[in-house]
């Protein structure tokens, strides 16, 4: 299969997605998030790496399986295990390489959550303010009464169906508005016109409701609060600080609006570098990039249990666009459909970045989480570098 075989009509459909997820820039318009001029953060290979041949992880229904089988079963494109600045394991499969870009899907939401923390810490973002305070265009719609904090915690309650297997669900209409799928004659063109025409809502703040549109409303709010476009804010406050090897990208619609809920893409090592920044309490070479108290609040989790729907986790809570499973290592993570993961284990000081192209959009999330947790614990037992 070559890039000529993928299009806006099939790049999210198996088996074409095995190529489409790391050829996004050939299919959907994208804008660059520049890495800046700072030197790349050096990541060094371990003298005592993880031994995948001996590593066993929990599989579906908790049955033990080899780490190699786990990677094959989940159609892994690449995985990197990082402790400090030491690479304990790094594998790439098929034609995917360390220089390839891969869309991270809903891990994009976790980037938005950290960007919100930077703006809140600078006094530019009021979490108690309602959405129309920043975006009056939404004063008559589903998000009119929601606060910024409710957007961050997915406790806003718009009329929005996230059922991937339901063709008429809003999640698919949102994809079409963003240019991710071929549009129908009746479709709204553009993410923000789509969000502005949503009507009806439940009681904001009453429960957890995972919704991709909520993150795109958050991104709109962040632009107004930060006084710049979303890609520029991401570059200015996050991407240029992580020591990235390369630029990132975010997909954009016909109006140039980024699809903040799912559209970011990057190299695997750079995703791990972002995770390292967060696991280091937001510090980079003595400079506070993301407020440490924001990350601490994120790790403590939210008030409502999450539900096993969409690309969400089975169990745990949600805070600031991150998932918190409530395990004994204090782990937290970002996750995207088709098996994209950024797993952070504070107790083991381990970051795991994983790109995949699973057969189903939402694939055995509990088994994935159990396996990633087991890999992080095994990484913690490897001998520290001399």
Catalytic residues: 106
Can you tell me the distance from the alpha carbon of 376 to that of 320, in angstroms, rounded to the nearest whole number? 23
Q: Is the peptide bond before 113 cis (omega within 30 degrees of 0)?
A: no
Task: Please check whether residue 33 is in contact with residue 231, taking contact to mean a CB–CB distance below 8 angstroms.
Answer: yes
Task: Please check whether residue 233 is in contact with residue 222, taking contact to mean a CB–CB distance below 8 angstroms.
Answer: yes
Query: What are the strands, taking DSSP E only, across the chain?
Result: 30-33, 44-45, 56-58, 64-66, 76-83, 86-92, 102-103, 248-251, 264-266, 283-284, 287-288, 317-319, 322-324, 332-336, 340-345, 350-356
The closest alpha carbon to 251, from 35, 101, 78, 103, belongs to: 103
The closest alpha carbon to 152, from 193, 205, 105, 201, belongs to: 205
């Amino acid at each position: 299969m070559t890039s000529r075989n993928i299009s806006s009509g099939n790049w999210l459909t198996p088996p074409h997605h095995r190529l489409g997820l790391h050829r996004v820039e050939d299919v959907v318009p994208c804008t660059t998030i520049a890495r800046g001029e700072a030197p790349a953060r050096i990541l060094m290979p371990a003298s005592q790496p993880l031994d995948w041949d001996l590593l066993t992880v929990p599989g579906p229904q908790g049955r033990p399986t080899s780490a190699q089988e786990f990677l094959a079963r989940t159609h892994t494109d690449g995985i990197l295990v990082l402790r400090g600045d030491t690479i304990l394991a790094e594998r790439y499969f098929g034609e995917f390489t360390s220089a390839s870009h891969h869309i991270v899907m809903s891990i994009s939401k976790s980037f938005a959550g950290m960007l919100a923390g930077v703006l809140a810490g600078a006094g530019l973002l009021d979490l108690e303010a309602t959405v129309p305070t920043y975006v009056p265009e939404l004063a008559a719609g589903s998000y009119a009464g929601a606060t910024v904090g409710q957007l961050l915690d997915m406790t806003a309650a718009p009329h929005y169906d996230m059922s991937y297997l339901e063709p008429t669900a809003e999640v698919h209409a949102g994809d079409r508005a963003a240019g991710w799928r071929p549009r129908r004659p009746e479709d709204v063109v553009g993410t923000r016109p789509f969000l502005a025409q949503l009507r009806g809502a439940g009681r904001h703040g009453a429960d957890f409701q995972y919704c991709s549109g909520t993150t795109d409303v958050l991104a709109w709010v962040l632009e107004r609060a930060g006084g710049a476009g979303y890609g520029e804010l991401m570059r200015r406050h996050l991407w240029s600080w992580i020591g990235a090897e390369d630029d990132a990208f975010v997909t954009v619609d016909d109006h140039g609006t980024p699809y903040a809920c799912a559209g970011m893409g990057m190299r695997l090592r750079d995703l791990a570098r972002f995770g390292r920044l967060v696991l280091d309490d937001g510090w980079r070479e003595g400079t506070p990039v993301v407020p440490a108290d924001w990350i601490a609040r994120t790790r403590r989790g939210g008030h409502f249990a999450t539900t096993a729907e969409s690309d969400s986790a089975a169990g745990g809570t949600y805070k600031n666009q991150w998932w918190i499973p409530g395990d004994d290592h204090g782990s937290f993570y970002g996750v995207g459909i088709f098996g994209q993961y950024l797993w952070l284990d504070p107790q083991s000081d381990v970051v795991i970045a994983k790109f995949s192209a699973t057969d189903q959009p939402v694939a055995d999330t509990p088994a994935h989480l159990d396996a990633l947790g087991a890999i992080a614990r095994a990484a913690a037992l490897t001998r520290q570098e001399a």
